[in-house]
Amino acid sequence: MLALYGHLFSSYTWKALIPLYANATPFEFRALSPEHPEHGAIVSAASPLGKFPVLRDGETTIFEATAIIEYLALHHPGPAPLLPADPDAAVHIRMLDRVFDNYVMTPMQEIVGEHIRSPGMPDPAVEGRARDVLDRAYRWIDSWLADYPHQSETITLIECAAAPALFYADWVYPIPMELDRLRQWRAHLLSLPAIRRCVDDARQFRHFFPLGAPDRD
Ligand SMILES: N[C@@H](CCC(=O)N[C@@H](CS)C(=O)NCC(=O)O)C(=O)O
């Protein structure tokens, strides 16, 4: 039996949950919580910084959400393609995965981290730099979407990376109104059943969001 260790409010945990839900892959979710220190012990031991999610498949342990998706595509495939068989097309999808992790998820986490480090008094320089990265990323992604079938129901590595990143990034630095394609794509992603499920299951934790969760989504 596959087991995924993580937290239902964690963006990178969503990234690994989305392909599991999209392919209706049987797995057990092992939540990180004070009631289950053994789950935390597995996560701490798995990788250099003990980050989550972590996937266990028998004796195999995989960490890093992208690697988990690559592993699922290889060993537990289903109707959602995740990665194309064509190597050139796969390179392109992996490149976009890096865009969402490095230029959306990372600055979003920096802003959230700053509010955890210094509640009510985040360093404006740190926030400003992270917002600038998000702004540039949003504008680039909005242009890229012009040639991407962004109203499709298909779930690939791109959607797995984009949905959690854009979900939380828009909470810390709202997507500018003029970036219509990007705002519509975010809304479309949140309507897909595998992603909707992550959003709904995380609702119970929204009061923990350090900046205060907006009353939407
Ligand atoms: N590069 C990692 C990042 C994972 C990550 O940042 N996870 C966060 C939760 S969303 C985490 O483990 N936070 C706790 C910590 O940093 O100790 C991945 O892609 O899986």
Structural domains of the chain, ranges and CATH numbers in brackets: 2-75 (3.40.30.10), 87-193 (1.20.1050.10)
User: What's the pLDDT tens digit per position in 52-101?
Assistant: 999 999 999 999 999 999 999 999 999 999 999 999 999 999 999 999 99
**CB–CB of 65/20 below 8 Å?**
no
The residue to mutate among 39, 47, 51, having the most atoms of ligand 1 within 8 angstroms of its beta carbon, is 51
The residue to mutate among 32, 44, 52, having the most atoms of ligand 1 within 8 angstroms of its beta carbon, is 52
Please give the number of the atom of ligand 1 that sits closest to the Cα of 10: 10
| pTM, 2 dp | 0.97
Question: Which residue has a Cα nearest atom 6 of ligand 1?
Answer: 51
Cα 109 to averaged position of ligand 1 atoms, centre (Å): 9
Cα 147 to averaged position of ligand 1 atoms, centre (Å): 31
CA–chain centroid gap for 123, Å, is 25
User: What's the pLDDT tens digit per position in 16-33?
Assistant: 999 999 999 999 999 999
Distance (Å, whole) CA 105 – CA 29 = 23
pLDDT value of position 1: 87
Cα 31 to averaged position of ligand 1 atoms, centre (Å): 14
User: What's the pLDDT tens digit per position in 161-214?
Assistant: 999 999 999 999 999 999 999 999 999 999 999 999 999 999 999 999 999 999
- Mean pLDDT to the nearest integer, 40-58: 98
Name residue 2's beta-bridge partners.
Answer: 27, 57
Note the helical H segments in 76-123. 87-100, 106-117
